[in-house]
Structure 1
Amino acid sequence: MSDTPMTPRLLTVQEVAGILRVHARTAYRLVTEGSIRAVKIGSQWRVPEQALLEFLATGTPVTGQGRKEPVQKQHKLPL
Structure 2
Amino acid sequence: MIYTAKELMEILKIKESLCYKLLREGEIKAFKMGSDWKIPKQSLEEYIARQLKV
Q: TM-score range by the shorter chain?
A: 0.7 to 0.9
- State TM-score, norm by structure 1: 0.61
Size of the aligned set, in residue pairs, is: 51
What's the counterpart of residue 40 of structure 2?
48
What's the counterpart of residue 39 of structure 1?
31
Say which structure is richer in strand.
Answer: 2
Structure 1: runs of 5 or more not aligned: 1-8, 60-79
Say yes or no: does 1:13 pair with 2:12.
Answer: no
What's the counterpart of residue 18 of structure 2?
26
- State TM-score, norm by structure 2: 0.86
Say which structure is richer in helix.
Answer: 2
Distance of 2:25 and 2:37 partners within structure 1: 12
* Structure 1 vs Structure 2 CA RMSD: 0.8
Could you tell me how far 1:28 is from its partner in structure 2? 1.0
Identity %: 37
Distance of 1:21 and 1:58 partners within structure 2: 17
Higher Cα Rg, which structure: 1
